[in-house]
Amino acid sequence: MCFLIGKNGEILYADFSQSPTAMPDKRQRWQAVWNNRENLAEIAHSHPLGGSRFSQEDETTMAALDLALGQAMRYSVVTPEEIRVRQGDEEFMLEEVPWWVALMRLASGVLEKE
């Protein structure tokens, strides 16, 4: 699952994959990033099987997006247990859970662990 989140916390675009471990590139997703670049606050994606570290593919994609957009974007990985956020050189676990995280977890096919 991938969400583009706007500056007011709204979901600007949502995309999904049939695989819990891979999300192939789509022209529509790249176009949505570009079309919403003025209002884009965060790019979030799920790791439904867990693992909150950004993958090597995540790293290269984030670097390409930052270069294309001319700024360090905010990125999030949503797992069943936690939310990891990175913006520039800063990386941290999110304590306050945004409203859209439950929706992303549900759409990704995972349930929050109790």
**Domain annotation covers residue 14:** yes
**In the prediction, which pLDDT does 16 show?**
82
**Domain annotation covers residue 81:** yes
**Domain annotation covers residue 31:** yes
Structure confidence by residue, pLDDT tens digits, 1-22: 899 999 999 999 999 876 666 6
Q: Is residue 37 pLDDT above 90, yes or no?
A: yes
Measured over the CA atoms of residue 45, residue 16, residue 19 and residue 37, the dihedral's sign is negative
**Domain annotation covers residue 114:** no
Q: What is the dihedral of CA 100, 36, 73, 66, to 10 degrees?
A: 140
**Domain annotation covers residue 53:** yes
Could you tell me what percent of the chain has a pLDDT over 70? 90
Q: Report the distance separating Cα 42 and Cα 6, nearest Å.
A: 7
Predicted confidence band at 113 (pLDDT cuts at 50, 70, 90)?
low
- Structural domain harbouring 8: 2-108
* Chain-centroid distance, C-alpha 87: 12
Tally the domains of the chain: 1
